[in-house]
Every structure is written in C-alpha cells, then in structure tokens.
Amino acid sequence: MTVAIYEGSEKELKDEWDEYIALQTRLRHPNVLQLFGVANSQGLYAAIFHDEHKSFEQMSDAYSVTPTQRIYFRKFWTTEFEAHGPYIAFMINAPSLTPRSRSTSWFHRSGKLCLEVHSSRHKKLGANIPPSVLPNATIHSPKYLLPPAEVSRMIDFIDLELYHCRLSGMFESRIISLARHSSIRPYSIVKHVAGNLQEMAFLPQIHYDTPIWEPDVNGILFDKFPPNGWSSFLLSGNEMRCSSFQLTLTTDWMRCPWRNFNRYLEFRERFAWSAQANYIFGRPGMESSSCSYIDLILARYCLTSEIPPSLEIVLFLPPPWSFFSTDLTRCCFPKDEPYWSFDQSGKECLSSKEASDLGLPQIELEIDVFHHFVNEALLKDIRTFHTRKGFNPGSQEVAKHLGVQLYCFGDEGDPVPSPVCRPDFEDWGAGEDQMSDIHSGNTTPISDYMESDDDQILYPRIAPSI
C-alpha cells in the first residue's frame, strides 16, 4: 500500500477533499494510482493507494550516481508523461496536464510511472465523461524503468544530441570576476596557474546571442532604439527600486526549451567541449584537475544606493558590442562609462561631481565568468557513452558527427579567425516586440525553460479517437 497524507484545516480542505476523492474513484488508467481507501481525522487527510510506490524524488535520487542515469531517468519520465498526459487530461476534463500543478509522479515497484491526478481549480472534473467514451484503444502500453545498473541499455535509449545537451549542467560550477584590464574568450578551456588563467584551447569562431540590458525589476521605461547603441533607462526615486542591470554576453542556453532541437543547433558552442572532452583533456598538460571550461559570461552594472526621493533621471549604459574585442572573439571591459542625464536624448550628461551633489548612486561594473571543472567521473561517463555509440572517445569523431566546431590549441598557433564584422546596433538589438516585452515585464522567466522546473510541460486536452 502507498499512503499520501494531506494536512490543513477542515474548513479549507473539505470541499477540495470531496472533489479529490470523487475524481480518484472515477479514474481508470494503467498509469494512474488506484485508490484503495481514505481516512481523515483532525485536519489530516489520507489517501491509500493499491500496491507499493516510490515518490519521484526517491527514484530521482536512485538514478543520480552518473550523468547517464540522470539523463535517462529524466527522459524516461518525460517520455512517459507525454505519452499518457493528453489522454489523462481528457479524462479529467482539463485543458492541460502538467507534472506538478495537476499531478504528482510516483513510480510503481516494477518501474512503471503512476500519476496521482489532482483536481486543481476545475470544479467539474470527470463529471460528464462516462466510461464508454474512454476506449482502451487510446491507452498506450506502459513502459518500465531499467534498473540503475543497466547503463548500456540506458545509453541505447538516449540520443547523442540529447546527452550532450543535458550534460552541460552536470558538473561543478564556480564564478570568478574578470580583472579590469583583461579579456577572456568564451567557451575556451583554461588552466589555473598560480591564481591566473592560462588559455589552453578555444573555438575558432563564436556565435553570440542578442545581448540586451535587463534591469532587476520590471516596468522601467526603456528606449527601444537608442542612438549609437546606448541604452537609456528612466529611473524615479519614488517608484522604482532598481539596483542592477545585467547583460548576458554569451549565449544563454537557459532561455532555450530543452526539447527544441532546431534552437539547439544555434547553441552548439556550449556543447562542443563535451563532444571532444576526452580528446582535449587527454593531451599533455591538459589534466582535468587543473583546467576548467568557460561558459556563461555576465556583465552587471550595480547601483550602490537608491535614487533620491522625488528625483527622476535617465541612466545611459554603453552599447552591448563595446564589451567585445574588435574581432568579437573576446569579452572585455568597455572603454565607455555609464552616465546620468536629465535630458532623455543623453546629449547633456552630468559630471561625476554633479551626480554626487545630487546624491545619485555610484555605478559599479562587474563581469562574472562562470567556469566549470570537469572531474574524472564525468570524463569516464562520456567515454562510456561514446564507446557504446560506436565512436572513439579519445578522438574528435563525435564533434564531427554532431557538426560542432573543433577546438584549437595554443601550441598549434592561433588560426586565422573567420571574417567577422562588428554589426550595426540594429543587427544586435532585438526586434521591437521582443524589446518591449522584456522591459514591460512580459518576458518568460528563465526558470520556465529549466529542466528542474517541470511545469513547462503542457499537454492540450484532446478527445480520444474512437
């Protein structure tokens, strides 16, 4: 038996509990928990289900020893949910079904996914759907989890592209601040020598996403098409409590839905390292224990204090392309400095003394570099995966197969860079709709695209085919 316990005041839960029990007694599906009995006493409500089940968290922990296990478990769970979600959504008369807002995932002792379906905010779930409308022909046969030890069969279940796509978030990450007069090449492999970073390997050409300044609060007025690429923000001491502005200099994979492989093709720089990891870290002097991989690079202007009350002023920030070298191969500090102005055109800027006399905050710039250490356990997992797929893990075969760039090494001499011209600001900026959405608070949160936030998986209500 499996017992799910709910706690709350009788006044709050009574109607919801009755609706929940009515729904459970009507559901008939091999991937839905089957109710055996109920009990309640002094604010505690318990649903008793047939057979033994483990929670999603328990099963996730059991498949978390290696990256292959973690990727396999997530893919199995998502695949099964996608297979049964639309049908179950129809059964409960809901417009969609999500893993957390209208259901809880359990796993039967056989490895089968079983869902505990919740009524959520719908008041008539399952009320008008007779069993004859739900033919067995539309129910997919359930699949079963492989035991954690059967790694080879797990690898057969995982696509090569998906493996490298999901691998990026499975290693130790640290943040370092870029020194004022230094620069760094995105997606490079660096060696840590006496507190300094020595570039060891790099990609010959970099693809950049569209960089846009983003304030830490929504609703700030923003010039969509600023002159000469400068971004202007209208700040008020009475209304806005903005403290920082962030610019993502490298491609931010977290904004890309992880199952959209057409978009994935545009982000391949982030996965080039793992496709040739054992080739890179197998070279002399490239031991993984002393090297790391440069990933995300963020520039952030921080205001040291709040805008004085009753003061309305415009802050101008340098163009995004000023944070890159002329050939766009490195990220660096800009030569231009931000400034304050009462003139929305920015032609008359306040001097440092004038800004100080008005009590305006100082503007400090930080550039954070996210770098990841690759341990031997991760390299072993990559070797095992590549070997099972029929590739030589100590070569660049996988990188060539996936169509990603091959790393170049410092001892080979810098290659002639691909011709890249610094684009006009209009080419760098987002379209008018995108710029408007981002700074009016309508942009989709990054967490909505993260694998750990499973509520982004929506399934439309569909009628079963007869």
Residue 274 and residue 194 share a domain:
yes
Task: Answer for the pair 24, 50: CB distance below 8 angstroms, yes or no.
Answer: no
pLDDT tens by residue, 300-325 = 999 988 888 888 888 899 988 889 88
pLDDT for residue 217 is more than 80? no
Residue 71 and residue 193 share a domain:
no
Task: Answer for the pair 365, 301: CB distance below 8 angstroms, yes or no.
Answer: yes
Buried b (16+ CB within 10 A) or exposed e, 344-358: eebeebbeeeebeee
pLDDT tens by residue, 237-290 = 766 567 788 887 775 444 443 344 444 445 667 788 999 999 999 998 888 888
Residue 103 and residue 210 share a domain:
no
User: SS3 breakdown of the chain: % helix, strand, coil, rounded to 5?
Assistant: 30, 25, 45
Percent of the chain at pLDDT exceeding 90: 26
pLDDT for residue 98 is more than 80? no
Computed from CA positions of residues 255, 261, 267, 269, in that sequence, does the dihedral angle turn out positive or negative?
positive
Element (H, E) at 27: none
**Which residue, of 129, 153, 177, is where some domain finishes?**
153
Element (H, E) at 31: none
pLDDT for residue 462 is more than 50? no
pLDDT tens by residue, 325-373 = 888 788 999 998 999 999 888 888 999 999 999 999 999 999 999 888 8
Q: 457 lies in a domain?
A: no
Q: What is the mean pLDDT of the segment spanning 76-87?
A: 86
**Which residue, of 153, 185, 201, is where some domain finishes?**
153
Q: Which two tokens stand for residue 232?
A: 């202007």
Q: Is 315 helix (H, G, I), strand (E, B) or coil?
A: strand
Residue with tokens 């290693």, as numbered in its chain: 171
CA-to-CA dists, residue 274 to 76, 219, 324, 431, angstroms? 22, 39, 25, 33
Q: 418 lies in a domain?
A: yes
In 122-191, alpha helices (H): 151-157, 160-167
The pLDDT value given to residue 386? 97
Residue 212 and residue 149 share a domain:
no
pLDDT for residue 437 is more than 60? no
The pLDDT value given to residue 40? 74
Residues 6+ apart with CB under 8 A from 73: 59, 60, 63, 64, 145
Q: What is the mean pLDDT of the segment spanning 78-96?
A: 80
The pLDDT value given to residue 46? 77
Residue 271 and residue 138 share a domain:
no
Residue 202 and residue 148 share a domain:
no
Number of domains in the chain: 2
CA 230/CA 346 separation, integer angstroms: 9
Residue 174 and residue 119 share a domain:
no
Task: Answer for the pair 436, 241: CB distance below 8 angstroms, yes or no.
Answer: no
Which candidate, 284, 216, 287, places its Cα nearest to that of 245?
Answer: 216
Q: 255 lies in a domain?
A: yes
Pick from 35-39, 150-154, 312-316: least confident: 35-39
Length of the chain: 466
Q: Which residue has the higher pLDDT, 103 or 402?
A: 402
Domain range for 189 is 163-449
The pLDDT value given to residue 41? 73
Residue 132 and residue 208 share a domain:
no
Q: 330 lies in a domain?
A: yes
Q: Is 121 helix (H, G, I), strand (E, B) or coil?
A: coil
Percent of the chain at pLDDT exceeding 70: 71
CA-to-CA dists, residue 16 to 27, 28, 90, angstroms? 17, 21, 20
Strand partners, 115: 32, 105
Max avg pLDDT among 86-95, 211-220, 385-394, 408-417 = 385-394
CA dihedral in degrees (182, 404, 174, 287; nearest 10)? -90
In 92-213, alpha helices (H): 151-157, 160-167
pLDDT tens by residue, 119-129 = 644 333 333 33
Residue 388 and residue 314 share a domain:
yes
Which candidate, 103, 129, 55, 116, places its Cα nearest to that of 463?
Answer: 129
CA dihedral in degrees (219, 225, 228, 234; nearest 10)? -20
Pick from 84-98, 103-117, 410-424: least confident: 410-424
Residue 177 and residue 247 share a domain:
yes
Q: 158 lies in a domain?
A: no
**Which residue, of 153, 187, 216, is where some domain finishes?**
153
Q: What is the mean pLDDT of the segment spanning 99-117?
A: 84
pLDDT for residue 391 is more than 50? yes
Residue 133 and residue 231 share a domain:
no
pLDDT for residue 292 is more than 70? yes
Mean pLDDT value across the chain: 75
The pLDDT value given to residue 366? 92
Backbone angles phi, psi at 235, to 5 degrees: -115, 145
Max avg pLDDT among 108-112, 246-250, 372-376, 459-463 = 108-112
Supply the DSSP symbol for 79: H
Q: What is the mean pLDDT of the segment spanning 106-131?
A: 65
**Alpha-carbon Rg for the chain in angstroms:** 27
Q: 251 lies in a domain?
A: yes
Q: What is the mean pLDDT of the segment spanning 195-204?
A: 86
Which candidate, 417, 396, 421, 423, places its Cα nearest to that of 205?
Answer: 417
Max avg pLDDT among 202-206, 229-233, 377-381, 452-456 = 377-381
Q: 287 lies in a domain?
A: yes
Q: 259 lies in a domain?
A: yes
Residue 6 and residue 39 share a domain:
yes
